[in-house]
Amino acid sequence: MSLRSYILTRIILALPMIFILLVVIFFLLRIIPGDPVLAILGGKAPLEVIEQKRHEMGLDKPIMVQFFDYLKDVFTGNLGTSTLTNRPVIEELKDRFPATLELTIFAFIIALLIGLFWGAESAWRKDEPLDIGARVYSVLLYSVPVFWFGLILQLIFASYLRWLPVGGRIPAVTSFEVRTGLYVLDAIMSGDWKGLLDVLRYLALPSITLGMVTSSIFLRMVRNNTVLILSKDLVKAARARGLKKRVVLYGHAVKNAFVPIFTIIGMQFASLLAGAILTETTFSWPGIGSYLVMKIRYRDFPAIQGTIIFFGLFIVVISIIIDIVNALVDPRVRY
Amino acid sequence: MAKNEGEAVLRAENLKIHYKTKKSYVKAVDGIDLTLRKGETIGIVGESGCGKSTFGQGILKLLPQKTKYYGKLLVRDVDVTPLRENDMRKVRGKVVGMIFQDPMTSLNPITKVEKLFYETLEEHNPGISFNESREVTAQILQKVGIEPRRMREYPFQFSGGMRQRVMIALALVLNPDIIVADEPTTSLDVIVQAQILNLLDELRQSYNASIILITHDLGVVAEMADRIAVMYAGHIVEQNEKEKIYYEPKHPYTKLLLKSIPNTNPKDLELTFIPGSPPSLVNPPIGCRFASRCPYKMSICDEKEPPVVEIDGGMVKCWLYTQGSDNQ
């Protein structure tokens, strides 16, 4: 099977999954307490105003009619209009997605670097202080809620030391041209180094928070799998040829240790997104996560549904990319 | 066959290798003397846990860091027992090459064969280009009977026997003086076993290398070795030329070991075995370590460790052959 048809198959297989997600979120939203009309108008609005608004929003139709209307819209690529802002949900998601992407990419890089190097070195020095430190670190950070950890970092680095901003993404107006929406990239493309530093200062705390929490899982996986591989003959054989530690550890042990890790890395990315929702809220990061939380507060059904579907699609895309990278690392993988 | 006059490439003098477990040290190799001469093949035989693999890996100091080495282990006149990791790396591959038991697990399955050779060559000849490395690789692969174009493939694409050929080529590519082959054919089927053994023997001759062949398979050593050292519970209990070991074994353990080789004679289908099991190597007995299983046991055997006696051109570590013992 070629790569192209593999990707196509994966996307087709993802469609039923997205559909189920859509059904669940649609009905779940209508089961939980809270009325979108009241959330917008407030409890003291006159009854006829409420009824009129309900009619405008189409919420007076039978629920199945609402559902099929929505389904029709989704399959024609229309995620509806936000009941709160009256803007198309797709537009709003487009505006906010780069912020989330930037945050998750940096968090992912931080998690990967900590997990990879600390995990590999711990495995090499099993049961030595570095390894014990890694185990304590990963248990602590795995059990700490991400928002609490974020608050603590805020308290230390923003409130006491005043090294970094408490939250937000950029002071006010960007000093560089926004092309991709990924400010780090935009600043580099404009050659605006002062702007880049500013962007990084805002990005630092949220991405470190999310990255460190995610790294706890990576660290454990890399360490445990590498310990397993290090006990195998291929490592002894590599050493028996006189190879240096760097080659033995990273070129042979970690490379093989990553094979099983790749299969669960996609799922880890899903939990990274879940963490992003909390991180964004903690740091007022204007991404999709904080958007979702705000929309839930106002019972903005189309926006919530749209965001969830978007998350679903995003995870599908990421897991396909990870599968492709996996195939590059492990030649045994066939599509 | 006797090669007692060649230059010694490896010499163990009262070598002890004690490795650490959670609580204690296992005295896996506990005072052995052995000399390997140029061009010679020594077979080291013994049952599982007798210390033969520990000795093999100890030559390259591949054992866990906390392992302790006592006595001397001279590899081409350099005592390696005090050497640290960085100095040891220069010995590994270059002076002593190693072949492992299971080529399915000893070759990194997801690194291309040409890359395995390149990183090995590059380590010992810094600055070698990838193309030069490929040329060398092509030559050595040809020698072990693998088409050079297959160097672009991954080890997982090779069969077991072919992988072991790659492993052998990889161990020989730096032209080492000594090859340690730790159960090189145990995981292969019988026909491939013979091919691999013949290949090893041919290569030994053309490279004028010496081989330490570690195995529990007496058939394998019969085929290849010049001399045989029989190990039991951390000691070499007997060593001599191959023929002497097979036709005139001295040590009771050797005798019983040879008797327990299964044969295909339909009139003799009963399997012979040695009752009992080897002693713990954490706290080995003070006397002879084989005493508890030995049919010729005397009272002295439990009290004092037997000395090494030179006899019939070889050596045996048994009270039966000391002067003044008149039991036999």
User: B157: domain range?
Assistant: 8-232
Q: Among B90, B105, B154, whose Cβ lies nearest the Cβ of A242? A: B90
Cβ atoms of A97 and A103 closer than 8 Å: no
Q: What is the pLDDT of residue A250?
A: 93
A274/B291 Cα distance (integer angstroms): 67
- Spatial neighbors of A273 by CB under 8 A, at least 6 apart, are A100, A104, A289, A311, A314, A315
- Nearest-CA distance from A225 to chain B in Å? 15
CB-closest option in B101, B119, B167 to A247 = B119
Biggest distance spanned by C-alpha atoms of chain A = 85
Residue B123 distance to chain A (closest CA, Å): 6
Instruction: Measure the CA angle with vertex B279, ends B277 and B282; round to 5°.
Output: 145
Instruction: Confirm whether B57 is domain-assigned.
Output: yes
Search chain B and give the residue with CA nearest A328. Answer: B110
d(CA A55, CA A50): 9
Nearest to B120 by CA among A255, A117, A252: A252
In this prediction, residues A86-91 reach a mean pLDDT of 88
Residues 6 or more apart whose CB falls under 8 angstroms from that of A209 comprise: A107, A146, A149, A150, A153, A279, A282, A283
DSSP E strands in B51-103: the ranges are 68-75, 78-79, 96-99
* Confidence check: pLDDT of B325 > 50: no
Interface-testing mutation among B114, B119, B166, B175, with chain A (most A C-beta atoms within 10 A): B119
Of the partner residues B62, B109, B156, the one whose CB lies closest to the CB of residue A239: B62
**pLDDT single digits (tens) A36-87:** 888 777 777 788 888 888 888 778 888 888 888 888 888 888 888 888 888 8
**Contact status of B62 with chain A (Cβ, < 8 Å):** yes
Interchain CB distance below 8 Å, B110 and A243: no
Label residue A167 left, alpha or beta by phi (over 0 means left) and psi (-120 to 50 means alpha): beta
Do the domain assignments include residue A5?
no
Measured between alpha carbons, how far is B214 from B228 in angstroms, rounded to an integer? 10
C-alpha triplet B98, B104, B108: angle, nearest 5°? 75
pLDDT, tens digit (0-9, with 9 covering 90-100), for A281-319: 999 898 898 999 988 888 888 899 999 988 888 888 888
Q: Is the pLDDT of residue B328 over 60?
A: no
Confidence category of residue B66, pLDDT binned at 50, 70, 90: confident
How distant is the Cα of A105 from the closest Cα of chain B, in angstroms?
A: 28
Q: Could you report the predicted ipTM of this complex, rounded to two decimals?
A: 0.87
Number of CB pairs < 8 Å for A and B? 81
Pick B110's closest partner by Cβ from A240, A242, A255: A255
Q: What pLDDT score does A1 carry?
A: 61
Is there a contact between B93 and A241 if contact means CB atoms under 8 Å apart?
A: yes
Size of chain A, expressed as the number of residues it contains:
335
Contact A247 B93 (CB under 8 A): no
Distance from C-alpha of A227 to C-alpha of A280, rounded to nearest angstrom: 35
Mutate to test the interface with A, among B101, B111, B133 (most CBs of A within 10 A): B111
Nearest to B108 among A234, A242, A244 (CB): A234
| Separation of alpha carbons A152 and A205, rounded Å | 10
Q: Average of pLDDT values for B259-267?
A: 80
If one counts the domains in chain A, the total is 1
Domain range holding A239?
A: 89-329
Residue of A nearest to B116 (CA): A238
Q: B43 — alpha (psi -120 to 50), left (phi > 0) or beta?
A: beta
Residue A285 corresponds to which tokens in the numbers above? 């990061």
The number of C-alpha atoms within 13 Å of B231 and in the hemisphere containing its C-beta is: 30
Looking at CA atoms only, how far is residue A266 from chain B in angstroms?
21
Q: Which residue of B has its CA nearest to A235?
A: B106
Place B153 in a pLDDT band, splitting at 50, 70 and 90: very high
Asked if residue A29 is part of any domain, the answer here is no
User: Nearest C-alpha of chain B: how many angstroms from A233?
Assistant: 5
Strand partners, B42: B212, B227
CB atoms < 10 A from the CB of B137, how many? 25
For residue B86, what is the nearest residue in chain A, using CA coordinates? A244
Domain at A300, CATH number: 1.10.3720.10
At B10-43, the pLDDT tens digits run 999 999 999 888 888 999 999 999 999 999 999 9
* CB-based contact, B18 to chain A, within 8 Å: no
Residue A172: pLDDT band with limits 50, 70, 90: low
What are A108's two structure tokens?
A: 């992912």
* Interface subset of B 97-156, CB within 8 angstroms of A: 97-98, 100-102, 105-111, 119-120, 123-124, 154, 156
**What total of structural domains would you count in chain B?**
1
**Rounded CA separation B253/B239 (Å):** 12
In angstroms, the first-to-last Cα distance of chain A is 6
- B57 chain-A contacts, CB cut-off 8 A: 236
β-pair type (B308-311, B314-317): antiparallel
Asked if the model's pLDDT at residue B306 lies above 60, the reply is: yes
B93–chain A Cβ distance below 8 A for any pair: yes
Tell me the average pLDDT across A216-245: 92
pLDDT given for residue B327 in this prediction: 45
* Alpha-helical runs (H) found in B92-180: 103-106, 113-124, 130-143, 160-172
DSSP per position, A65-112: HHHHHHHHHHHTT---B-TTT-SBHHHHHHHHHHHHHHHHHHHHHHHH
Beta bridge pairs of residue B8? B37
The candidate with the shortest Cα–Cα distance to B281, out of B2, B11, B6, B19, is: B19
Specify the higher pLDDT residue, B201 or A180.
B201
Among B65, B106, B112, B128, the residue to mutate for chain A (most A Cβ within 10 A): B106
Indicate yes or no: CB of B120 within 8 angstroms of CB of A239: no
Q: Whose CA is closest to B217, among B193, B195, B191?
A: B193
pLDDT digits (tens, 9 = 90+) for B100-147: 988 888 999 889 999 999 999 999 999 899 999 999 999 999 989 999
* B107, B123, B156 ranked by CB distance to A237: nearest: B107
Burial of A47 (C-beta count, 10 Å sphere; 0-12/13-18/19+): exposed
The pLDDT of B248-258, averaged and rounded, is 91
For residues A287 and A310, the answer to whether their CB atoms sit within 8 Å is no
Q: Which residues of B touch A255 (CB under 8 A)?
A: 108, 110-111
CATH code where residue B58 lies: 3.40.50.300
Q: Which range is least confidently modeled, A9-18, A227-236, A238-247?
A: A9-18
pLDDT digits (tens, 9 = 90+) for A104-117: 999 989 999 999 99
CB contact under 8 A, A242 and B123: yes
Amino acid making up residue B83? L
Q: A54 in a domain, yes or no?
A: no
- pLDDT of A206 higher than 90: yes
Share of chain A above pLDDT 70, in %: 98
Cα-to-chain-centroid distance, residue A286: 14
Q: How many CB atoms lie within 10 A of CB A15?
A: 10
Which residues neighbour A310 within 8 Å (Cβ) at sequence distance 6 or greater? A79, A93, A97, A288
Question: A329, A314, A203: which is closest to A263 by C-alpha?
Answer: A329
Q: Does B94 sit within 8 Å of A252, measured CB to CB?
A: no
- Mean pLDDT across the stretch B182-194? 87
Does B259 reside within a domain? no
**Long-range contact pairs involving B52-56 (C-beta distance under 8 Å, separation at least 24):** B52/B214, B52/B216, B52/B231, B53/B182, B53/B183, B53/B214, B54/B17, B54/B19, B54/B28, B54/B29, B55/B12, B55/B15, B55/B17, B55/B28, B55/B29, B55/B214, B55/B231, B56/B98, B56/B180, B56/B182, B56/B212, B56/B214
Q: Does residue B66 form part of some domain? A: yes
* Segment (H or E) for B309: strand B308-311
Residues of chain A in contact with residue B174, where contact means CB-CB under 8 angstroms, are 241
Q: Which of A242, A244, A252 sits opposite B94 (nearest CB)?
A: A242
